[in-house]
């Protein structure tokens, strides 16, 4: 464990995720925020963008060109797709620098699939081998070996935390999985109105990305790693009229003779040492109320009205466990700290 404070740069500091990241880092006992970078409003205090950030001694917004990379341990990038690839290519020469990306730039191992889903050529293909796709609960013992830590998307986080253990242990059927996910509109970022133009945007529920949501690419990738049998699922995301929070409702079919109780006990045992994953009592109705502004994921397994069919509920805060909190959890693991540090 390092004795000095982790010296941090946040690039993309003024977006929703960047601001939540700064809130967490500013109260982390082992972090020193050296630079907060953005392209606009240079020279402004971070409180200009979010008055709830209490630390008044944080650096003012500056251009990334002013950063002295010799005095930085971690770069957090919360930028539009493709930008972290350009920055990482320039900074890879700094041996002691870790890059934690909160966008999709290093989530996909195959540059062809990246281009298919994101509509642009990957600019740092040679760096993919130095990156790891990191839901921390699944890669705790591997993460420190990589230069670039790629934080998963919010939807895939809520989906994989319950499903990966069950699929890995062959407890559920690998076809006809239905995933219905709902997210607060902060998940679309500050350019929400440019991405969604349906009427009553802030007072209606809206399905989108049907059969083509970008996050299916990383779900596909991680499912393929489990075994050679293709896992068939349907995923439909929805935007709901609340700022933050995410609930995934997952419909599964168990293998013959495997009761709900066994599924519950296995999932509880699997996540026993994963502090931020809470397996709730069987048939517990849940929403996002308990996980808002936390790094927790609550999971409930419920009976359905059809034999051998179960319903899994998985709730997270899309901006915290789905982004900023998970990034800090990854940072803690990289530097040998308790993963809970700064996140309670």
Cβ neighbours around 258 below 10 Å, total: 18
Active-site residue, 154 included: yes
Q: Give Cβ neighbours of residue 75 (< 8 Å, ≥ 6 apart).
A: 8, 9, 11, 87, 91, 97, 98, 99, 100
CA–CA separation, 136 and 154 (whole Å): 13
Q: Please tell me which residue in 151, 154, 297, 302 is annotated as part of the active site.
A: 154
Of the candidates 202, 267, 272, the one whose C-alpha atom is nearest the C-alpha of residue 241 is 202
Cβ neighbours around 65 below 10 Å, total: 6
CA–CA separation, 143 and 276 (whole Å): 17
CA–CA separation, 197 and 201 (whole Å): 7
What own/partner pairs with CB < 8 Å and gap ≥ 24 does 296-304 have?
296/321, 297/157, 297/158, 297/161, 297/321, 299/161, 299/162, 299/267, 299/271, 301/260, 301/263, 301/264, 301/267, 303/260, 304/251
Active site residues: 154
């Amino acid at each position: 464990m390092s004795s000095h404070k982790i010296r941090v740069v946040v690039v993309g500091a003024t977006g929703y995720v960047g601001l939540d990241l700064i809130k967490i880092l500013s109260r982390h006992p082992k972090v020193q925020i050296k630079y907060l970078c953005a392209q606009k409003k240079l020279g402004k205090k971070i409180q200009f963008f979010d008055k709830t950030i209490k630390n008044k001694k944080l650096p003012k917004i500056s251009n990334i060109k002013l950063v002295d990379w010799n005095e930085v341990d971690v770069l957090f990038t919360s930028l539009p797709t493709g930008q972290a690839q350009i920055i990482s290519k320039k900074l890879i020469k700094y041996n002691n620098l870790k890059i934690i990306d909160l966008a999709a730039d290093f989530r996909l191992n195959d540059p062809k699939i990246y281009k298919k889903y994101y509509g642009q050529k990957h600019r740092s293909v040679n760096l993919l081998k130095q990156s790891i796709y990191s839901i921390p609960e699944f890669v705790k013992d591997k993460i420190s070996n990589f230069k670039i830590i790629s934080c998963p998307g919010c939807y895939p986080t809520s989906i994989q935390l319950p499903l990966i253990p069950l699929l890995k242990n062959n407890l559920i059927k690998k076809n006809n999985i239905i995933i219905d996910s709902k997210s607060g509109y902060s998940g679309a970022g500050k350019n929400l109105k440019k991405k969604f133009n349906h009427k009553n945007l802030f007072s209606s529920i809206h399905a989108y990305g049907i059969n083509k949501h970008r996050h299916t690419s990383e779900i596909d990738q991680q499912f393929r790693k489990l075994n050679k049998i293709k896992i068939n699922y349907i995923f439909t995301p929805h935007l709901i009229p609340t700022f933050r929070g995410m609930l995934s409702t997952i419909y599964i079919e168990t293998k013959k003779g495997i009761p709900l109780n066994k599924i519950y006990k296995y999932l509880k045992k699997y996540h026993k040492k994963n502090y931020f994953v809470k397996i709730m009592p069987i048939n517990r109705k849940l929403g996002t109320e308990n996980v808002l502004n936390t790094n927790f994921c609550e999971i409930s397994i419920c009976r359905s009205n059809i034999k051998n069919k179960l319903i899994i509920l998985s709730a997270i805060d899309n901006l915290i466990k789905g982004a900023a909190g998970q990034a800090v959890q990854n940072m803690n693991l990289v530097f040998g700290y308790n993963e809970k540090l700064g996140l309670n």
